[in-house]
Amino acid sequence: MFNKIKQLLPFFCYSFLLSFLFCINACNTKKENTKAIKNDWWKEAVVYQIYPRSFKDSDGDGVGDLKGIISKLDYVKSLGVDAVWLNPIYASPNDDNGYDISNYREIMKDFGTMKDFDLLLKEMHSRGIKLIMDLVVNHSSDEHEWFKQARSSRTNPYRNYYHWWPVEKGKPPYRWSFFDVNSDAWKFDSLTNSYYLHYFSRKQPDLNWENPKLRNEVYDIMKYWADKGIDGFRMDAFQFASKDTTWPELPKGYEKNVIKYYGLGPHLHEYIKEMNKEVLSKYDIMTVAEGAGSSPNEALDFVDPQRKELNIAYHFEGVDVGKNISEFGLEKYKAIYSRYDSVFAEKGWLSIFLANHDQPRMVNKFGNDAPEFREASSKMLTTFILSMRGTAFYYNGDELGMTNIKFNSITDYNDVATKNKYLEIQNKGGDTTAYIELQKLTSRDNGRTPFQWDTAANAGFTTGTPWLKVNSNYKYINVVTEIDDKNSPLNYFKQMIQLRKNNKELFVYGKYELIDKANPNVFAYSRTSAKEKILVLLNFNKEISRIVLPKGYSLGDELINNLQPLKLQGSDISLQPFQACIIKLK
């Protein structure tokens, strides 16, 4: 018996080895088929951004409000979006339209009350819509109690909630400010003979994140809102929170890369990790990092799941194209997306967006608002946002193809950024006419004009005088008109959302591959899931543009097309101006 076993032993060993190898191989194959990125609701969500001031006014004071939003939730639901990101609705003197907060636990009077907020949240949740709140904690308002206390004396317990520079040390090392009339981030305050720091306007003093007390205050505020049941935070300007408080001199040319010198301060990631441990890890909420460094790898550091920081990186390279994309060049633009996608292929998560409240309208910047191109280019851009890998952030009004208002006079503007820059140019004897011309393309107010609901006075936004002028094209660009037109940008947006939702593995998670990268007019890419592959063709040009299908590509069913038909001759495709088409590949 023993001999028999001895004889068979090599055979046993051999078959054991074989099954071991087979198992390893099978496991590897399985690994190959398993995508690296795991499914999450916030990856699949289409986030609709509502600018509350401009969405719907319920009480005729000319300013949008929470009750107005509640009255339009059925419309929001009808779009098919999953979540709403609300710009700040907290108490604020509105120097920067709510981005200057004077009380983080109160609702801005213009917008309503906490009771309205609670109802809003309830009504959203009952419709299956999640709510993402803006969290503005790089700075507060100078009217916040913390700042009032802090400026009252050098020994006040709140003093270290902000950054100060006493006059006896001379002038502080220069820091550039986004909105200051002199571009100077240090403002002298005679009460305590000191300068305070404000990267944004003078009424937005920067909070001192190096102070653990301040950090804990912020965590308490976050818990307050998370306990109410909100579903996420969009972290405003957070990459600037930590500062090098030795205030080294800025090198020459710093203004060409502000983020490099102002962003990603020495302890930023440490603080985010702390925030995650203290707050985020305790709730099922998502976080979006507004601004995320100046390279894909820096952006990844915010959202690499192993680092336990935030969820979605919202980087600016995709919108930092100057006046418009035709001037910037599509090849360069495609390269940005491809570079980011490759760094995020295995881990981390990105947002995809073309507009928000800090941008002009997407049709003007990336498409064309001329009557013959507006609708097509709006739909083409919608196709892009909803067919790329990443969480789609879609700005209210873009579903209608709303356009820049192009104000002719500085008196029409409201935005602190535009107004203060104008003053600065004027003070220096610069060319204010040229500046106003530029604002027609770039000003944030272009994207902030009241939402266009119908053909009634003020586009049905308010019965009073709107806080910012309504675009006169509301007579034909509005919800009521577009609902009835089956070819409208609005109906196309809804179709595109359904297409994405019904094919999540492809549209949300599928692998992205750029095609014909040197094509100056067409952005073409494929998306591939374990089972299927699609081709996305987007003509970013106002001329007919050609693309040749790569070898081995065989076209199947068309999934969506904003300008039928698709003209095909052999493997040569010619696209109409701003045509967008998604086709299955066989």
Residues carrying an active site annotation: 236, 290
Q: Which residues contact 556 (CB under 8 A, 6 or more apart)?
A: 583, 584, 585, 586
Between 96 and 231, CB nearer to ligand BGC:
96
> Smaller CB distance to ligand BGC: residue 357 or 365?
357
**Binding residue for ligand BGC, selected from 189, 210, 290, 482, defined by CB under 6 A:** 290
d(CA 164, CA 186): 9
Which residue has tokens 């002719």?
408
Q: Which x/- pattern over 193-212 shows residues binding ligand BGC (rule: CB under 6 A)?
A: -------x------------
Size of the site for ligand BGC (CB under 6 A): 9
* Burial group, residue 424, by CB count within 10 angstroms (0-12, 13-18, 19+): middle
**Of 393 and 507, which CB lies nearer to ligand BGC in the complex structure?**
393
In angstroms, give the least distance from the CB of 210 to ligand BGC: 19
- The pair of structure tokens assigned to 403 is 């356009």
Q: CA gyration radius for the chain?
A: 26
Strands (E), 42-87: 46-50, 83-86
Answer whether 352's CB lies under 8 Å from 391's CB. Answer: yes
451 and 461 in contact (C-beta within 8 Å)?
Answer: yes
Query: Any alpha helices (H) in 469-523, and if so which ranges?
Result: 479-483, 489-502, 504-507
Q: How many CA atoms lie within 13 A of 472 on its CB side?
A: 2
Q: How many helices (H) and strands (E) does the chain have?
A: 20, 21
Residue nearest to ligand BGC (CB): 99
Rounded to an integer, what distance in angstroms lies between the CA atom of residue 309 and that of residue 291? Answer: 14
Binding positions for ligand BGC, 401-460, rule CB under 6 A? none
Nearer CB in complex with ligand BGC: 236/301: 236
Site for ligand BGC in 135-154 (CB under 6 A): 136
- How many other C-beta atoms are found inside a 10 Å radius of the C-beta of residue 7? 9
189 touches ligand BGC (CB under 6 A) = no
> What is the token pair recorded at 546?
């050609």
Q: Specify the residue, 136 or 499, whose C-beta has the smaller distance to ligand BGC.
A: 136
* Smallest separation, CB 40 to ligand BGC (Å): 24
Alpha-carbon distance 180 to 195, whole Å? 14
What is the three-state SS of 252-293? CCHHHHHHHHHCCCCCHHHHHHHHHHHCHHHCCCEEEEECCC
For ligand BGC, the closer CB: 111 or 453: 111
Residue pair 510/44 in contact by the 8 Å Cβ criterion: no
> Per CB under 6 A, does 236 bind ligand BGC?
yes
Chain-centroid distance of CA 511 in Å reads 22
Site for ligand BGC in 70-129 (CB under 6 A): 96, 99
Closest contact distance (angstroms) between CB of 329 and ligand BGC is 26
Torsion of CA 577, 500, 236, 262, to 10 degrees: -60
Q: Which is nearer to ligand BGC, 142 or 236 (CB)?
A: 236
Touching ligand BGC, residues 328-387 (CB under 6 A)? 357-358
Taking the complex as a whole, how short is the minimal distance between the CB of residue 91 and ligand BGC, in angstroms? 15
Q: What span, in angstroms and rounded, lies between the C-alpha atoms of 199 and 205?
A: 7
Closest separation between CB of residue 299 and ligand BGC, Å?
A: 15
Least separation in angstroms between CB 578 and ligand BGC:
28
Q: Residues with Cβ < 8 Å from 565, sequence gap 6 or more?
A: none
Q: How far is the CB of 41 from ligand BGC (least distance, A)?
A: 24
For position 319 contacting ligand BGC by CB under 6 A, the verdict is no
Angle subtended by helix axes 268-278 and 296-303, to nearest 10? 30
Positive/negative CA dihedral, 236, 239, 243, 247: negative
Q: How far is the CB of 200 from ligand BGC (least distance, A)?
A: 4
Answer for which of 237, 299, 535, 580 binds ligand BGC (CB under 6 A) is 237
Closest approach of ligand BGC to the CB of residue 324, in Å: 20
Judged by CB, which is closer to ligand BGC: 99, or 158? 99
Contacts of 486 (CB under 8 A, 6+ apart): none
Least Å from the CB of residue 96 to ligand BGC? 5
**Strands of 194-197's sheet, edge to edge?**
164-166, 194-197, 186-189
Q: Which is nearer to ligand BGC, 184 or 358 (CB)?
A: 358
Nearer to ligand BGC, 362 or 582 (CB): 362
Q: Which residues would be at the binding site for ligand BGC (CB under 6 A)? A: 96, 99, 136, 200, 236-237, 290, 357-358
